[in-house]
Structure 1
Amino acid sequence: MTSATPTVRPIIPTTMRALVQRRYGTSDVLADEMRPVPTPRRGEVLVRVEAMSPDAGTIHLLAGRPLMVRPAVGWRTPRQRVPGLALAGQVVAIGEEVTTIAVGDHVAGSGAGALAEYAVAPARKLALAPSAVSMTDAASIPISAVTALQAVRDVARVEAGQRVLVIGAGGGVGAFAAQYAALAGADVTAVVSARKSDFVRSLGVERLIDYARESDPSRWGTFDVVIDTADGRPLHVLRRALTRRGTLVIVGADGVGGPVFEGFDRQLFRVPLANMVASQRIASVMQKETGDDVARVLGQVAEGSIASAVTEVVPFADARAALDRLAAKQVAGKLVLTLGR
């Protein structure tokens, strides 16, 4: 008679390494500290973070900008002391009522406090990572790729044969948006800096516009869909690149405008007003953090129909410098931080 092999539970330490912010600012406000390992609550899991990918939202929340977000995230000091959302790693503990994920699973998704060795995340925001997808690639997906997928599929509703312009295709969301538009069968043109043009071509986009050489949207051509991930210009200027019944999709704000809204007034006020008078359709994207869409992108990366867009893999020890480069828009595609042990 043989006995069943007992399940080996991972040993979870009581403390972990994390980057902690107690005030708003740039990367210099981050302190490398030891913190208590969090405990998953009902519906949550504890992930041993192997990789995480910062994005524009990470930079915005680090600075506490725009000011309109302060009531939600902390007016004088941040309520969430460890920044970062997009992560990939191994589940080491689960909370009550979690049935779709087990200890030992490798997952990717959104979990507050990803700039640490351990983070808790709602199970509904996670997806199992296929073995064919590395943790580095998986970490690039939960925010940027899912935002791009939803912008192309749900908001722009891109169809085969349409002419699509992606502004900022050299960035994280833009790189995925260009790929998803092409996957839908669209004819894609990218507005990109010369420094990032080779990267965008590597994604399969051949028609590029260097915005430094040609900054007037009316000279870019006429498109059925324009997806703006980086420009920040007034809506009436961007509409010059649209057909009469075209669609303009706004993703993010890029820090333009005053400190209260920093460009988000386009989504909050100007988009609804423009839709009252314009023949074109104008919409903005608010990402829905769903494990289903994370799983969809992971599957597409595994099969090779979508590239992860990772261009830089940086050790956790160099996180501050990496965040500075991201804030300065010096990163093509996605930058990923790894947490080695």
Structure 2
Amino acid sequence: MKVITARKYGTPDVFRLENWEIPSPNKDEIRIKNHNSAVNSGDWRIRKPDPKVVRLYFGILKPRKPVLGISFAGVVDAIGENVTKFQIGDKVFGSTGMQMGAYAEYICIKESSVMTTLPKEISFSQGAALSFGGLTALDFIQKCKIQKKQSIIIYGASSSVGTAAIQLAKYFGAVVTAVCSPGNFPLVQSLGADSVMDYKGFHADSHKKTYDIVFECVGKSSISSNLNHLTKGGVLVLVGASFKDMLQAAWISISKGINIKFGPISETLENLNTLAELTKNGDFTVVIDKSFPLEALSAAHQYVEAGHKKGNVVIDVIN
């Protein structure tokens, strides 16, 4: 099978195409013929690594697992003898989590993983895109305990997480302000944003408004600038926080009692099923910017790392 490996940290050029034997599933695993994966901010941060603390989790000198990628969507083509939840031929999608390995034609994964059946209304490419931005946005929205009529401003609203957060916040009844480049205003409005603002407007001295939730998706605005727009007793969400930002946020939370959410999300099967149901029913739209073939993974990483994508970037593992 074809796999793309990263046998060292670095730029997108570290990726190499290799041929591996097709793996066999263990007793509690299924094997998936992988149709699509995706490139997310978490993927390029592991590859780089950024922040450097990533090395503590994924390998000090080089990635312990040379095949990166966490999002997948494909067809079950073999099952272990103890597997009961899935059958050969089932269409599935989900996340491999810390195990990674999704930049490959075949994946063996425990049936207890964050993975579920792909509804017929959802394509493989949509399924692969759904599991990162959607799961991240939903977990943070839940942590905010968002209420109807609450105000939320989403910074980086055209990103993978941002496009998901707009829709989920609206689904739960919030009033949404989207911050993004002017060229992306039509996109975020089509997803339900009640008002839009460009980045200059957000940082302008004339922007005095405060919000119940400030939802920073891309790690490009300072904590202090976000706190300037947070209502007293509100919640600041830092999705793309650097390690330095996390330390600062932790100190502010302790010393000033401000509610700041950051750090790894909790990927759950319940949330994945919720996203699948919302998408199937037409209440959630998976935004896909571009697709790249597996062999062009370096170009896909370069594009995503540049920070200008709209929604998700999908990898066509099987052309």
- TM bin (shorter chain): over 0.9
Structure 1 residues 246 and 193: CA distance shift in structure 2, 3 A:
same
Q: Partners of 2:146 and 2:262 in 1: how far apart?
A: 15
Alignment of 1:103-252 (within 5 A): 103-111=88-96, 112-124=100-112, 125-153=114-142, 155-216=143-204, 219=207, 221-252=209-240
Alignment check: 8 A CA contact 1:226 1:248 kept: yes
Give the deviation of 1:213 after TM superposition.
Answer: 4.6
Match of 2:316 in 1: 338
Q: Partners of 1:103 and 1:187 in 2: how far apart?
A: 44
Alignment check: 8 A CA contact 1:127 1:292 kept: no
Alignment of 1:77-116 (within 5 A): 77-111=62-96, 112-116=100-104
Give the deviation of 1:42 after TM superposition.
Answer: 4.2
Alignment check: 8 A CA contact 2:219 2:238 kept: no
Which among 42, 46, 51 is matched to residue 61 of structure 1?
46
Say which is worse superposed, 37-46 or 221-230, in terms of deviation: 37-46
1:32-73 residue CA offsets vs partner (Å, 9 max, x unmatched): 121122232343221111111110011011112322121221
5+ long unaligned stretches in structure 2 = none
Root-mean-square deviation (CA), in Å? 1.8
Match of 2:269 in 1: 291
| 3-state SS in 1 of match to 2:183 | helix
Structure 1 residues 103 and 250: CA distance shift in structure 2, 3 A:
same
Structure 1 residues 132 and 304: CA distance shift in structure 2, 3 A:
same
Say which is worse superposed, 319-328 or 63-72, in terms of deviation: 63-72
5+ long unaligned stretches in structure 1 = 1-15, 254-262
Structure 1 residues 149 and 57: CA distance shift in structure 2, 3 A:
same
Which among 301, 312, 315 is matched to residue 293 of structure 2?
315
1:273 correspondence with 2:251: yes
Match of 1:282 in 2: 260
Say which is worse superposed, 211-220 or 87-96, in terms of deviation: 211-220
1:231-286 residue CA offsets vs partner (Å, 9 max, x unmatched): 44442321110111111111122xxxxxxxxx22322x222321234354222242
1:72 correspondence with 2:50: no
Identical positions, percent: 28
Structure 1 residues 310 and 106: CA distance shift in structure 2, 3 A:
same
Paired amino acid for 1:172: S
Q: Partners of 1:323 and 1:131 in 2: how far apart?
A: 29
Q: Please tell me whether Structure 1 or Structure 2 has the larger radius of gyration of its CA atoms.
A: 1
Q: Partners of 1:203 and 1:150 in 2: how far apart?
A: 19
Paired amino acid for 1:104: G
Which among 11, 14, 39 is matched to residue 26 of structure 1?
11
| 3-state SS in 2 of match to 1:97 | coil
Alignment check: 8 A CA contact 1:94 1:103 kept: yes
Match of 1:52 in 2: 37
1:272-320 residue CA offsets vs partner (Å, 9 max, x unmatched): 3212343542222422222222121011111000111122233323322
Say which is worse superposed, 85-94 or 200-209, in terms of deviation: 200-209
Paired amino acid for 1:181: A
Q: Partners of 1:202 and 1:193 in 2: how far apart?
A: 15
Q: Partners of 1:82 and 1:313 in 2: how far apart?
A: 19
Alignment check: 8 A CA contact 1:247 1:280 kept: yes
1:92-150 residue CA offsets vs partner (Å, 9 max, x unmatched): 12235322122211001112211111112232211111111111111111121011011
**What is the TM-score normalised by the length of structure 2?**
0.93
Match of 1:329 in 2: 307
Alignment check: 8 A CA contact 2:30 2:110 kept: yes
Structure 1 residues 171 and 217: CA distance shift in structure 2, 3 A:
farther
Count of equivalent residues: 315
Q: Partners of 1:217 and 1:331 in 2: how far apart?
A: 28
Alignment check: 8 A CA contact 1:42 1:98 kept: yes
Paired amino acid for 2:295: A
Q: Partners of 2:64 and 2:309 in 1: how far apart?
A: 28
**What is the TM-score normalised by the length of structure 1?**
0.87
Say which is worse superposed, 133-142 or 29-38, in terms of deviation: 29-38
Say which is worse superposed, 207-216 or 16-25, in terms of deviation: 207-216
